[in-house]
Structure 1
Amino acid sequence: MLPDTTEVLIIGAGPTGMALSIVLHQAGVDHVLIDRLAQGLQTSRAGVIHAQTLETLEPLGVTQRLSELALKLQNFAIRDRNRALLKLDFGKLPSRHPYLMMLPQNLTEQVFAERIAALGGVIHRTVEAKAVVQDADGARVTVVENGREKLISARYVVGADGMQSLVRRSTGIEFDGAAYDASFVLADVRLDWPVGPTEVSLFFAPAGLVVVAPLPDGSYRVVATMDDAPEKPEIADIQALLDSRGPTKKRTRVLDLSWNSRFRVHHRLIRSYRKDRLFLMGDAAHVHSPAGGQGMNTGIIDAVVLGQLFGDVMNGVRPEAELDLYETLRRPAAQEVLELAGTMTDMALTRSSVKRFVRNLVLSVLNLNPFLKLRIALKLSGLSRAPLARLPAPSREPIAQTKPAAEPGLKLVA
């Protein structure tokens, strides 16, 4: 049963909202997690978890289970049809997780949900937030459950409710940016794939980009741009994409299609991560191209940083004013991610033959420099942004606690 009051109300039970819930459970912070959907995601969506995210997740008790379900890859390549322009070895990363962890988002959500249950938590599903208002004393959210309206009062409200976020609209904060001209196709397919199952491949071609990434069950994730993508791409559509953009020495064959989707991609960043008692994270705060697989990873780290701050404030470790550290740390991280994803996408979508020649030449030269290749891998893995996921020490001595914490002051890993 939904309570009338809580310390933190989280709207949205995707990976970001669930990660925040886990941190708050471990810190002993009373909170409520709601989602309008009846069940968790049943489709794969985001497919990669990067090294920095895995290190950040270690204190949450989920990394081992994710590892058991996932496929771990060390190789990432940018290719122009048959030619490898840039090959990166994630096995050389200075991390306890030197690889790309390939895991469909529905399995990531399943692991997070199991952890919440193990901590005694509940995800309140089929609960839709309809209105959010706040004053000096707190925030009040009108929700609908089983056709009935209910008012929940919270000290803080967190919007983990996606690009169309109700919480963000309630703040009035601008969501700066625009949409890409092209639409994107996502599909999970069975392939006769000449590159093989040990590499994530990003192909450049005059017709656009296509990414092919192996998944744990032997299938492949295909992500591609299309000027006018069909609503439900079929096998023939995926075959045409790979024929026109993938390797040519041996033809790829699409054997089966298990899931597909079409979506438009925006590149947007919110001007502020909070408005008094309302906070934003994940896609409610930043959206961008799927190039580089950064979206879910950035949102999860948002959640862990914000959750640690809430825990420290409510357990008397930090003054309330230090909640501003959330934006101080995480907005620069999102800016870097938008620049990275945008650069990769712009490079892939250029139609100019001169620009394509220069792009390929630059990448080929980079491929000769191990130091620069490692720097690129550090950016893609998130490890170069590790300081933006690490809280500084509290600005003053701890103040009196109002209640004991289960696991006070979770420590993030750089």
Structure 2
Amino acid sequence: MTTTSLPQSADIVVVGAGPAGLTAAITLADAGADVVVLDRLSEGANTSRAAVVHARTLEVLDELGIADELIDRGIKVPRLIVRDRARTLAAIDFDGLPTRYPFTLMAPQEVTEAILLARLRKAGGDVRRPYRVTRITDDDTGVTVEYLDDTDTAGTMRAGYVIGADGMHSLVREQAGIGFTGDTYPTSFVLADVRMDWPVARNEVALHLSPDGVTVVAPLPDDVTPDRYRVVASLDDAPEHPSVDDIQAILDARCPGGAVKVTEVLWGSRFRIHHRVADHYRAGRVLLAGDAAHVHSPAGGQGMNTGIQDAAVLGGLLARVLAGEPETLLDTYETTRRPVAKDVVAFTDLMTRTGTLRGRPARLIRNTALSTLTRIPAVRHKLAFRLAELAYR
């Protein structure tokens, strides 16, 4: 792929064209800002990765006019079921939530990104690929962005501000001198999209707890690939490229039995999970969003959702500053969104640690507590409200 030349300057440079970067760019482009989005990849996402879109995120996307399109291409899931083998411990329903979107939407990340990219183009923007940012230098009047194109030819451009939406290993965060405090879980995880016969209704996400680890099975839209599901499972040593036999063995050992038959692995990988939050969300004219600002366990599907919400807030604040409001307004981004990230990290950490308990006494206590507490309607509603991220409006 041959890159096109970049302009010498822009109001905003967004580094990273994932969901957070695209959302920030749309918000800014809608406000009339001159925004350039750079991404090191030659093409966008073509694997599903994040697949859960929660109610609060759909409310944010509705403000951009794209929630309905995403819903049309996803699958609505109104409940989460927690099981230990065949025993149901809890049923969390989303259909009573105070929102236009009382459900979890399962939509592969490549679909979400494609819809966001089309919306950015409608606003007059686009993503410039492949450009690898190598250095950023902030001064009193702007930021110098140094980059390499696909031929390793170096270039520079000036920006009023830079948004680092370039993921967990963010170069922007590193160049800005912002720490990333946290740790790594010892357990590895397998992630796979599969075709299979699954004896559970396609209107629910199933969370299975077992002595071997935690397993999540969720339906994905089958408009292209029938009987498609997402499987996430903790393992002491997950395979790098999970096979049909690997996924079948996990489900046979941990899930409720019945007609479970994995026929194809469409895509799979392994990963380790971290729980980290950037020490600051702003360093002068450099700001962070998405995984560059926070990473955490995939429990509850909170990551991409929190990042999209970050970006919508940040884009709106930057647009106001560009329109003449005081630059100190940008300080409110950290004071409002960093506490959200810390709260999400704590919540997903609790879910991960309790879900991966191994000892029998601890598991019995967990199961009894979960089963007893979730019989109370107010508790079930509170959990659904929290998972849907409606508390962060």
Q: Deviations over 1:172-208 (max 9, x none)?
A: 2211111110111111111211122111011100000
For the residue of structure 1 that corresponds to 2:372, the secondary structure is: helix
Q: Deviations over 1:339-383 (max 9, x none)?
A: 111111101111121110110011111221001100000110000
Q: Distance in 2 between matches of 1:342 and 1:178?
A: 11
The partner residue of 2:256 within 229, 247, 260 is 247
Q: Tell me how far 1:251 sits from its aligned partner.
A: 4.4
Q: Tell me how far 1:2 sits from its aligned partner.
A: 0.9
- Aligned pairs for 1:34-113 (under 5 A) are 34-113=38-117
After the TM superposition, which of the residue ranges 251-260 and 121-130 deviates more from structure 2? Answer: 251-260
Q: Deviations over 1:224-269 (max 9, x none)?
A: 1111111100000001111111113x14211221111111111111
The partner residue of 1:380 within 369, 372, 387 is 387
Q: Which residue pairs with 1:226 in the alignment?
A: 235
Q: Distance in 1 between matches of 2:122 and 2:86?
A: 48
Q: Which residue pairs with 2:165 in the alignment?
A: 160
Q: Deviations over 1:130-160 (max 9, x none)?
A: 1111111111110111321111111111100
Matching of residue 328 in structure 1 with residue 332 in structure 2: no
Q: Deviations over 1:15-56 (max 9, x none)?
A: 110011110111111111000101100000000100000101
Q: Deviations over 1:45-104 (max 9, x none)?
A: 000100000101112121121011010110111111111111011111110001101100
Q: Deviations over 1:296-335 (max 9, x none)?
A: 000000000000001111113x311111110011001101
Matching of residue 179 in structure 1 with residue 184 in structure 2: yes
Matching of residue 285 in structure 1 with residue 293 in structure 2: yes
Consecutive aligned runs of 4 or more in structure 1 exceeding 4 Å deviation: none
Structure 2 residues without counterparts, runs of 5 or longer: none
Are 2:187 and 2:236, in contact at CA under 8 Å, matched by a contact in 1?
yes
Q: In structure 1, what residue type is equivalent to 2:316? A: Q
Are 1:243 and 1:251, in contact at CA under 8 Å, matched by a contact in 2?
no
Q: Distance in 1 between matches of 2:323 and 2:285?
A: 18
Q: Tell me how far 1:220 sits from its aligned partner.
A: 0.5
Q: Distance in 1 between matches of 2:152 and 2:169?
A: 22
Question: How many equivalent residue pairs?
Answer: 384
The partner residue of 1:235 within 238, 244, 260 is 244
The partner residue of 2:351 within 336, 344, 348 is 344
Q: In structure 2, what residue type is equivalent to 1:287? A: V
Are 1:281 and 1:302, in contact at CA under 8 Å, matched by a contact in 2?
yes
Q: Distance in 1 between matches of 2:124 and 2:247?
A: 43
Q: Distance in 2 between matches of 1:371 and 1:153?
A: 52
Q: Distance in 2 between matches of 1:279 and 1:354?
A: 46
TM-score by length of 1: 0.91
Are 2:176 and 2:283, in contact at CA under 8 Å, matched by a contact in 1?
yes
* Identity score, percent: 47
Q: Distance in 2 between matches of 1:188 and 1:241?
A: 14
Matching of residue 313 in structure 1 with residue 321 in structure 2: yes
Are 2:35 and 2:125, in contact at CA under 8 Å, matched by a contact in 1?
no
The partner residue of 2:363 within 356, 359, 362 is 356
The partner residue of 2:137 within 98, 120, 133 is 133
For the residue of structure 2 that corresponds to 1:376, the secondary structure is: helix
Q: In structure 1, what residue type is equivalent to 2:138? A: Q
The partner residue of 1:366 within 360, 367, 373 is 373
Structure 1 residues without counterparts, runs of 5 or longer: 387-414
Q: Distance in 1 between matches of 2:210 and 2:61?
A: 36
Q: In structure 1, what residue type is equivalent to 2:172? A: V
CA RMSD in angstroms comes to 0.9
